[in-house]
Amino acid sequence: MQTEPGRMNVQLLGPFAAWMGPRGVTPSAAKQRQILALLALNAGRVVTVSTLVEELWGDNPPRSSATTLQTYVLHLRNRLAAAGPGRPGGTREYLGTRHSGYLLDAGCCQTDVEEFGRLARFGRQAAEAGDQRAASDLLGRALALWRGPVLVDVPLGRVLELEANSLEATRLGVLERRIEADLALRRHADLVGELTLLVARNPMNENFCALLMTALYRSGDAGRALESYRRLRTILKNELGLEPCPRLQQFQQAVLSGDLAREDAEAPAGPGRLTPL
């Protein structure tokens, strides 16, 4: 991701990093990293003092929490100033104080989360328009921005943990959409390895199982497709006392009976399917 002149670049999809132009401004102190990460994730929106206090100290904030928070923000502003932002409003144009909290100006900050959302949105629009090749490319570019788990090297308080979980759920939804686009492009043989790994990592995800079954069946391996279903059913019954969703059961029956032509096989969308950006 290229940094525009005069803007701060923050990377959150993996190890945390921030630059002001060519100079790094990533805080080394853990709580300052938490503050900047939370402000960057909410760039353009006020993050209240109470939210920041909850993130930093949970249910046990010190009596001096408000003053300590102000000190942390001052250190962040000094760090930005040392990088020489060179804007008329100085560092307060980047990191402003509001009545109820602090705001990182969206016009002065760009993040990989923002770019991920933009590419994913365009990819979904391409898929809905029937342009699966463009959808695969755009969604693949969005996923390539991920360099590891969200904020892998930042302590996650209660608020950041919720943000990270939400982003991970969104990533899985985008990944599903990209795989669906690739299946529509008849790339089923190339997807078997990736989907096998995804199912192993997400053993109760019905959507990934359905996509793997589709890729295997189209590749001429109905036996492994049925085995994937049986494995999912066993896990769901043992862990949750549930059967696979009705559409997945129907898909399994169609494979068993041979009523499903390989070239027309479609992965059913389960009721818990994640919604892409």
- Per-residue pLDDT of 105-160, as tens digits, reads 888 889 999 999 999 999 999 999 999 999 999 999 999 999 999 999 999 999 99
Q: For all residues of the chain together, what is the average pLDDT?
A: 89
Backbone dihedral region for residue 160 (phi beyond 0: left; psi -120 to 50: alpha; all else: beta): alpha
**CATH number of the 187-277 domain:** 1.25.40.10
Query: Can you give the residue ranges of every domain in the chain?
Result: 8-110, 187-277
Are 220 and 262 within 8 A, CB to CB? yes
- Residues 149, 155, 158, 163: is their CA dihedral positive or negative? negative
Are the CB atoms for 71 and 33 separated by under 8 Å?
A: no
Contacts of residue 135, defined as CB under 8 A and 6 or more positions apart, other chains included, come to 123, 124, 126, 127, 177, 178, 181
16-73 residue pLDDT tens: 999 988 889 999 999 999 999 999 999 999 999 999 999 999 999 999 999 999 999 9
* Six token digits for residue 53: 């206090």
What CA dihedral angle connects 1, 171, 119 and 87, to 10 degrees? -40
For residue 27, the SS3 value is: coil
Assign 223 to helix, strand or coil. Answer: helix
Beta-sheet strands, E only, within the chain: 8-11, 17-20, 23-24, 47-48, 95-97, 101-104, 109-111
Tell me the torsion sign for CA atoms 113, 180, 138, 140.
positive
> In angstroms, rounded to a whole number, what is the distance separating the alpha carbons of residues 144 and 138?
10
95, two tokens = 């990191």
- Write down the pTM of the prediction: 0.87
Q: Could you tell me which CATH number the domain at 8-110 has?
A: 1.10.10.10
